[in-house]
Amino acid sequence: MSCDAEIAEILRRSGHRLTPQRLSIVRALRHGGRHMSAAEIAEEVHREHPFVDLSTVYRTLDVLKRMRLVTSTDMGSGDVLFEWAPEAPHHHLICSSCGNVAEIGHAYFEELERRLLADFGFEADVHHFAVFGVCRECRMSEPGDANEA
């Protein structure tokens, strides 16, 4: 697989060492094609390499994040979720009521990005946003209430 060769190349060029653990972690993320917690990644990695420690997973993810190969997002699940950095950035609408997660493209954030740069010189790192709210279905089913228990 040229996947592996590509990663090997990138790691080496950045002065990092290529280890089977790192390759396996990268593979888990790339082939997983979804958000994964460190624990989930470890679980996947363990199929090939049962002795890889969680701390190694965290340390590797840290390296990959710094290299911008991986994004991390707190989606409110209590742990942080990681994802192989997609070519096309995308974002998520998370329903606070039913927990459903929808994916939306980056276009929705471009205007914001532009204005933040123009007005403040702030280069927003809007690679992977989690927007909480209430989805259409939940809005329909719930009355226009106010206070809860």
Partner DNA sequence: GTTGGTGCAAATGATTTGCAAAAGG
Partner DNA sequence: CCTTTTGCAAATCATTTGCACCAAC
The minimum distance between CB 71 and DNA, in angstroms, equals 13
The verdict on 54 binding DNA (CB under 7 A) reads yes
Between 78 and 143, CB nearer to DNA:
78
* Whole-number Å distance between alpha carbons of 128 and 131: 10
- When asked if residue 71 is in the footprint of DNA (CB under 7 A), the reply is no
CA dist., res. 24 & res. 49, Å (int): 8
**DSSP per residue, 39-86:** HHHHHHHHTT-TT--HHHHHHHHHHHHHTTSEEEEE-SSSSEEEEE--
State in angstroms the smallest separation of the CB of 44 from a second copy.
26
> Rounded to an integer, what is the distance from CA 128 to the centroid of its chain?
7
The 10 Å CB-count burial string (b at 16+, else e) for 118-148 is eeeeeeeeebbbeeeeebeeeeeeeeeeeee
Residues at the contact surface with a second copy, assessed by CB under 8 A: 13-15, 66-67, 74, 93, 95-96, 102, 104, 108-109, 111-112, 115-116, 120-126, 131-136, 139, 147-149
Binding of DNA at residue 79 (CB under 7 A)?
Answer: yes
Stretch that binds DNA, among 55-63, 105-113, 118-126, 134-142 (CB under 7 A): 55-63
The entry of a second copy, DNA, none that residue 142 binds, CB within 5 to 8 Å by partner kind: none
Interface positions, 6-45, toward DNA (CB under 7 A):
11-12, 16-22, 37-39
Identify whether the C-beta of residue 67 lies closer than 8 Å to the C-beta of residue 106. Answer: no
Where do contacts with DNA occur on this chain (CB under 7 A)? 11-12, 16-22, 37-39, 49, 51-56, 58-60, 62-63, 78-80
